[in-house]
Structure 1
């Protein structure tokens, strides 16, 4: 099974939102139970789990709503790539966790800028 990290998280979230154990969620996502425990400590993952749990527990159960919510979660978990605008400007997203050293923050920013420059080159060709 080859799934994206976001898809694996969604698979785990669906299991956890339905009340399954970490072990069952890990099997569904193709990761270890320890990975599930780490993900559950992430505030973003916890927020997504709570939101998805509300959709799963609605009465009457609406499978289409659950799948739509899962797709929305996957979109939010996939980091957006660089975006080249019509005027030639580029938008890149840089995620710098709190407590990151200035040197590492600089490297993360430089990588995001490099991704933006590659996107411009690809858009021009």
Structure 2
């Protein structure tokens, strides 16, 4: 069975939020335990895990709320670095900064990501020549 990374992360979230071990979550997601351990160190994954756990703890029998939260997490995981989401008159650029990056590296990566995002929005709007 082939599963995409976002779906695998969603499956791991479900098991971890429910109290499963890293090994159990890895088996359910179809990845190695070291992969789940790596995901757990990622701030985005950690935030999503905390959010899913909160739903589990606050409304353990509300399966609909849990599934909606897991779908939101999967959508967030599926975003590619450099992707641009345009909502009305604002745009959100998705930037990936590796853990352990120095402040200078972060600044450089963010600046480059924002520049690429602006260029993409301008191209899509036909304003590249401005």
Q: TM-score range by the shorter chain?
A: 0.5 to 0.7
TM-score normalised by structure 2 residue count: 0.66
Note the C-alpha offset of 1:84.
5.4
- Residue by residue over 1:15-52, the C-alpha shift from the partner in whole angstroms, topping out at 9 and shown as x without a partner, is 11112221221122222100111222234323322321
- Cα root mean square deviation, aligned: 3.4
Secondary structure, aligned partner of 1:13: helix
Note the C-alpha offset of 1:66.
0.9
Secondary structure, aligned partner of 2:16: helix
- Residue by residue over 1:52-108, the C-alpha shift from the partner in whole angstroms, topping out at 9 and shown as x without a partner, is 123224566121111011122233444472245777x86534454664363674355
Structure 1 unaligned residues grouped into runs of 5+: none
Call closer, same or farther: CA 1:110–1:7 in 2, change over 3 Å. same
Structural mapping, 1:83-122, within 5 Å: 83=85, 92-96=93-97, 99-100=101-102, 102=104, 105-106=107-108, 109-122=111-124
2:12–2:28 contact (8 Å) kept in structure 1: yes
TM-score normalised by structure 1 residue count: 0.68
Structure 2 unaligned residues grouped into runs of 5+: none
Question: Which residue pairs with 1:26 in the alignment?
Answer: 26
